[in-house]
Amino acid sequence: MIFDMEKPGGRESYNLLIGLVAPRPIALVTSMDEDGRLNAAPFSSYNYLCTDPPIIGMGVTNRPNAGFVPKDTARNIRRTGEFVVNVVTEDLMQRMNVCATDFPAEVNELEMAELSTAPSHVVKVPRIAEAHAALECREFTTMEIGRSRIILGRVVSIYIEDRFIDPAGPYVRAEELHAVGRMNGLGSYVKTRDSFLTMPRISYEEWKQGKR
């Protein structure tokens, strides 16, 4: 089948794109409004975009059927310029899902999900204490595109529990972190536990010697 992506009809492009650009990491983003009220919500249109400087990006759609009303996360980041990406691992999945519930702005999703906070190292917004890793970010820029915002964040500090760091690199012990990925809009996810394989890159010298 061929789908014409140039004709309007947001739901179709949403359904197809989020099923095909997958699996995606999930950022459970903590942010604060000007009065210090905390907010948490998951975003899977998320990735790192470059490392020098360290920039991550995420796409936040405006509230459905509400014209141009931004989600609380996008509004907070625009107003206070800071946020924290908490890495979603298997043990946090259910609580991450609670944070995606469309609570009124004054409700703290972290309380609803029974998650607690710990102070961040650099930014005012706290990280989620139960998350094993978190990226502290300052808003680099926000692009408004149609009914969405693409938010770029500069990573200013990274927290990782010691047990998940191999100091030799340093590398992340990703096989032990058990991060999860989102697969589509039907509530499908993938776990990474026991599903690692290793495939080192091939140098040109090795290629010439026949290595594949």
Ligand X SMILES: Cc1cc2nc3c(=O)[nH]c(=O)nc-3n(C[C@H](O)[C@H](O)[C@H](O)COP(=O)(O)O)c2cc1C
**Residue 59 interacting with ligand X (CB under 6 A):** yes
Q: Is 127 exposed, middle or buried (0-12, 13-18, 19+ CB in 10 A)?
A: buried
Using the rule CB under 6 A, give the single segment among 69-77, 154-162, 166-174, 198-206 that binds ligand X.
69-77
Measure the CA–CA gap between 41 and 86, rounded to whole angstroms: 10
Q: Cα dist. 137→28, 107, 116 in Å?
A: 13, 23, 19
Residues forming a β-bridge with 144:
149
Nearer of residues 108 and 157 to ligand X, judged by Cβ: 108
State the minimum distance, in angstroms, from the CB of residue 97 to ligand X: 6
* Contact between 42 and ligand X per CB under 6 A: yes
Judged by CB under 6 A, which stretch of 41-49, 119-127, 139-147, 195-203 contacts ligand X? 41-49
- For tokens 């975003």, name the residue: 43
DSSP 55-119: EEEEEEEPPTTSTTPPPHHHHHHHHH-EEEEEEPBGGGHHHHHHHTS---TTS-HHHHTT--EE-
Q: Is 71 in the site for ligand X (CB under 6 A)?
A: yes
115 binds ligand X, rule: CB under 6 A:
no
Strands across the sheet with 189-191, in order?
24-25, 180-182, 189-191
Does residue 41 touch ligand X according to CB under 6 A?
yes
Side-chain half-sphere of 84: how many Cα atoms within 13 Å? 30
Least Cβ distance, residue 22 to ligand X (angstroms): 11
Would you count residue 100 as binding ligand X (CB under 6 A)?
yes
d(CA 196, CA 206): 24
Q: Is 73 in the site for ligand X (CB under 6 A)?
A: yes
Which residues within the stretch 150-189 sit at the binding site for ligand X (CB under 6 A)? Answer: 182
* Interface stretch with ligand X, choices 2-10, 53-61, 171-179, 203-211 (CB under 6 A): 53-61
Q: Cβ closer to ligand X: 66 or 202? A: 66
To ligand X, the closest distance from the beta carbon of 138 in angstroms equals 18
Q: Which stretch in 42-50, 79-87, 137-145, 195-203 sits in contact with ligand X by CB under 6 A?
A: 42-50
**Which residues contact ligand X (rule: CB under 6 A)?**
26, 39, 41-45, 59-61, 71-73, 97, 100, 102, 182
